[in-house]
Structure 1
Amino acid sequence: MIRKIKSSLYAKVFLTTTAMLLCTSLLVFSLLARLMPQTYSNRLNTVLDERAQRFVSELEQVAFPNSGGLFDQLLQDTEINSVELYNGKGEFVPLPTELFAEAWDGDTAYIEQTQINELCKTAPLLSGSYHFSFSDSNERYMLIVYGAAEQIGELQQSFIHVFPFILLIVLAVAFIVSSLYSCMITKPVLEISRISEKMSDLQLNWTVDEQRTDELGTLGKSLNRLSYNLSVTLSDLQNANKRLEADIEHEKKLEQARTNFFSAVSHELKTPITIMKGQLEGMLLGIGAYKDREKYLTRVLEIANTLETMVQEILTISRLETAGADFKKDRLDCIQIIKSYLNETEDLIAGKDLQIHLDISLSLSISGNKMLMEKVFSNLIGNAIKYSPHGADIWISALSEHGRAVFSVENMGEHIPADSIPKLFDAFYRVEQSRSRTTGGSGLGLYIVQEILHLHGSECTVCNTQAGVKFSFTI
């Protein structure tokens, strides 16, 4: 029971409020029960003293034998219980009253004193003593006046009689008021406590009633704002975390790609270097066919040229990775680049008796890096020239469609196997048969083309056509 009370805010507030109300009510009742009779007694004392003062003034103006009528009038007053008269020696003096003349014998004082003692036992009395002299004597008398104070006793008894009923009413009111007060105070606090538990579990799908205008209402509004800000912040953190995870995954893929790339580079460089070393050693030692140095020096030169081309392309890839999207862009004419390259390879085209078919605009401008885009066009057109059979046709298209430049080159020749098309833009990947090392390719040309187009927001695609193979991109 005690544990439940200690763990319940409502129980604590309820019991505390009830105890305070009970103590306050009982204190007020006790003060009333004590002070009201005392106040009433003081008022009666004041009234008794005023009447006694007037009576003494009247006695001083008459002789003792003639004062009986005044005493009779005083004793007939309902608020006067009795009077006593003493001479200067302190001896009791019978009252010279006419109504009680038979009381002039010696037993009068005793009877009156006995009656007074009995009255004192049954009801409270008020008294006052006054000194004076009658007009016919200089002797000093002392008059004691007793006033009836039954009302004071009745008032005290009334407080005692109503105390149980007052106590019941106070208990009922205290329980009702305490219950209402506890609900009013603890309800919002318990609501906030419940919400704080949800907040600790990061459950933010709640709102606090904002109708209150006091401090608790302000706290509720602050919690609502805190919930909204936390929800937005958590959402931003989750999105940022997802982006970070994606970036990390992308970085892992890039790192793996770099590892694979350099592994392939090592392999690709190792093979021609090994061949060159073997041929050079054979020529130096004059072993067998290697005695024909002119023949094998020419082969070594061809391999060296291939290595040089490969190194240049590797350097190009390295520059692409470090440049990112920060490379310089200009307005350049694709048609001019295509025609310039065709002029440079005119002898090769004529030597293979190739037929070039152009479907190009008069001018086609794009935003890009001139040196890189020249490499894209030269690689794609160069591959079409290199891998086309003697006397074949090559179709080159460069047109503007809906504000975009659309380029394609198609050459006659062997189709690319379907399973090789997805790998065609991988570094050092070569399709066997017609696209083998005998053509002198490094396996990096299409990889470089794709990387450059990615930097320009485009992508190269390849497909087999009825006549041969077609490469295209839109930028």
Structure 2
Amino acid sequence: MKLSVKLGLWIFICILLIETVSMIFLHNNVVRSRIDQELNSLKARGNSHRDVLEMAFNDSTLQHIRLMEAHTDTFVVVANSAGEVLLTSKEINEGMKKILDQSSSQLPRQGVILQSEWKEEAYIATVTPYETGTDKGSVYMFRDTENVKAFVSQLNRHFMLASIWILSFMFITIFLLTKVLTRPLIIMKEATRKLSKGDFSVSVPVQSHDELGELAQSIQTLANDLNYMKQERNDFLASISHELRTPLTYIKGYADIARRTNIRPQERTHYLQIIGEESERVNRLLEELFSLARIDQNEFLITKERVQLFPFLHSIYERVLPAFLTKNIELQLDSDQDIFVDIDPSRFGQVLSNILDNALKYSNEGTTTTIRAIKRDRNVVISIQDQGIGIPEEDIPYVFERLYRVEKSRARITGGFGLGLAIAKQLVEIHGGSLSVKSKPGAGTVFTIVLKES
């Protein structure tokens, strides 16, 4: 069953139940109010006749009361204390006699209702006591229930007609409402169907700011992310293919040359050395790819330990210092002595080595690279700042993406595969920290790592 049908049925059933209960309640109260009104009117007329009798109890007064009731739809019976009927505006029948027989001698001054049941009885009736100087008695008032039943029958017809109009309006409203509510869902269903088939170029319009709008926005975000991931995957595969094709071409080409019999031993050794270097380059690429794969699959384990930061940074400083001195770049270390962090020394050393390697590659002779560590707001901030060529502003958002290189020519002199910073960022995040970069072309670059202090 379609969602629109289910939704329409649920709304219909709920509104129908509410309408039915409301109609029944309203109908019963209207009928009850009308009956109470009729009974109170009867009792008021009886009280009025009682007052007239008590002011002047004689045949003239009795005839006057009979004349008053002769032209109305009510009937009056006046009886004395002995039960003798002194006045009746209509011939007493069995229904009226049954009511007269159940009257009590102890009646309140304002009268009582003798018969209120209108569905099964022929009359509704009230009785009011009177008292003169010479006698006591009762004034009985009757009203035929046929009039009440006719009123209820007419009321039922009005309620039925109102119900039909309400149901018709409800059907139209539910139909339009389900169309309005389910149309966005149908659009989203088509969008998800396209997504399942690999078509990520879908567009889901956000037409409201409610839950449906949030769902549409989520699906659109998912589609955009999947489309981005698809493009990134294609770019990644193309980049990997390019990175592998170049060294493999070198290996194959120089292997073919090395197999020749007419080359000198020194040349063969040179070619074999190039083959070895390219093989090592392919091996490094595969190791970095394997590391990324393990990180993506949450299989990359780190073993944290409490480390004093200054000796740890100093060991890395001493390890990379010769390379910086060879290029005539000054390397400085500035760190507080009392900083402790929870890190995996091996993995975190890999992070710092990757960043320092970038600083070395893209800094000119005579510049300075500074490693600095400070405490700030219960955090440890480690920064590596160089005075290199810097990163163009448009490239900064992408420097941590896999296989992204600011130097688009992929010159072999600069080395690297564009994976070092991607691995570094994910390793820092596994440690519970963050890695960010700020740079200005010609002024240098600063990479900042923020960790929790141990």
- TM-score (ref. length: structure 1): 0.50
Give the match's secondary structure for 2:356.
helix
Q: Which of 403, 406, 413 is equivalent to 1:438?
A: 413
Inter-partner Cα distance in structure 2 for 1:346 and 1:375: 16
Partners in 2 of 1:344 and 1:183 — Cα distance?
97
Question: Structure 2 CA distance, aligned partners of 1:361 and 1:192?
Answer: 80
Tell me how far apart the structure 2 counterparts of residues 445 and 250 of structure 1 sit (CA, whole Å).
24
Alignment partner, residue 399 of structure 2: 424
Code of the aligned partner of 2:339: L
1:412 equivalent to 2:390? Answer no
Q: Is 2:446 aligned against 1:470?
A: yes
On the 8 A contact 1:387/1:434 being kept in 2, the answer is no
Contact 2:384 2:447 (C-alpha < 8 Å) held by counterparts: yes
Aligned partner of 2:293: which letter?
A: S
Structure 2 equivalent of residue 297 of structure 1: 272
1:320 aligns with 2:289: no
Quick one: distance in 2 between partners of 1:192 and 1:364? 76
Alignment-derived partner of residue 452 in structure 1: 427
Residue by residue, what CA displacement relative to the aligned partner does 1:438-461 show, whole Å, maximum 9, x if unpaired?
133222112222333344352321
2:284 aligns to what?
309
Q: Equivalences for 1:167-178 in 2 at 5 Å?
A: 169-178=144-153
Distance 2:345 2:162 in 1: 73
Once superposed, what is the RMSD of the aligned Cα atoms?
5.0
Gaps of 5+ in 2: 1-18, 32-89, 97-121, 124-142, 180-209
Indicate if the aligned counterparts of 1:333 and 1:364 stay in contact, CA closer than 8 A: yes
Name the aligned partner's letter for residue 461 of structure 1. Answer: V
The answer to whether residue 357 in structure 2 is matched with residue 382 in structure 1 is yes
In terms of fraction of residues, the more helix-rich structure is 1
AA matched with 1:474: V
C-alpha distance in 1 between matches for 2:353 and 2:216: 42
What is the 5 A alignment of 1:264-413? 264-285=239-260, 292-323=267-298, 329-413=304-388
Report the CA distance shift for 1:373/1:202 in structure 2 as closer, same or farther (over 3 A).
farther
Contact 1:357–1:393 under 8 Å retained in 2? yes
Query: Structure 2 vs 1, CA of residues 361 and 410 (structure 1 numbering), >3 Å: closer, same or farther?
Result: same
**CA 337–185 in structure 1, closer or farther in 2 if over 3 Å, else same:** farther
Task: Identify if the C-alpha distance between structure 1 residues 238 and 368 changes in structure 2 by more than 3 Å, giving closer, same or farther.
Answer: farther
| Equivalent pairs, count | 297
Q: What is the alpha-carbon distance in structure 2 between the residues aligned to residue 394 and residue 157 of structure 1?
A: 124
**How many angstroms apart in 1 are the aligned matches of 2:406 and 2:427?**
22
- Pairwise mapping of residues 48-127 of structure 1 onto structure 2 (< 5 A)? none
SS at match of 1:439: coil
Gaps of 5+ in 1: 1-7, 19-155, 204-234
Deviation at 1:183, TM superposition (A): 8.1
Instruction: Please report how far the alpha carbon of residue 333 of structure 1 lies from its aligned counterpart in structure 2 after TM superposition.
Output: 4.3
Look up the equivalent residue of 1:348 and give its one-letter code: A
Counterpart of 1:430 in 2: which secondary structure? coil
Q: 1:429 to 1:192 in 2, by over 3 A?
A: same
When residues 196 and 363 of structure 1 are mapped into structure 2, their CA distance, relative to the original with a 3 A threshold, is: farther
CA offsets 1:223-258 (integer angstroms, 9 cap, x no match): xxxxxxxxxxxx889867865764565455445434
Distance (Å, rounded) in 1 between the aligned partners of 2:232 and 2:299: 16
Q: Could you say what secondary structure the match of 2:386 adopts?
A: strand
Contact 2:239 2:403 in 1 (8 A): yes
TM-score (norm 2): 0.52
**In structure 2, how many angstroms separate the alpha carbons of the residues matched to 1:325 and 1:303?**
27
Q: 1:236 to 1:316 in 2, by over 3 A?
A: same
Equivalent position SS for 1:437: coil
Deviation of 1:357 (Å): 2.1
Cα 1:254–1:372, aligned 2, differ >3 Å: closer, same or farther? farther
Conserved in 1, the CA contact under 8 Å of 2:405 and 2:418? yes
Letter matched to residue 450 of structure 2: T
Is the contact made by 1:328 and 1:368 (CA closer than 8 Å) also made in structure 2?
A: yes
C-alpha distance in 2 between matches for 1:291 and 1:344: 34
The alpha-carbon deviation at position 306 of structure 1 amounts to 1.6
| Cα distance change, pair 184–359 in 1 and its aligned pair in 2 (3 A) | farther
C-alpha offsets along residues 242-288 of structure 1, whole Å, 9 cap, x if unaligned?
A: 65764565455445434432332122111111111101111212577
Give the AA of the match of 1:320.
I
- 1:192 positional shift: 10
CA contact (8 A) 1:361 1:398 kept: yes
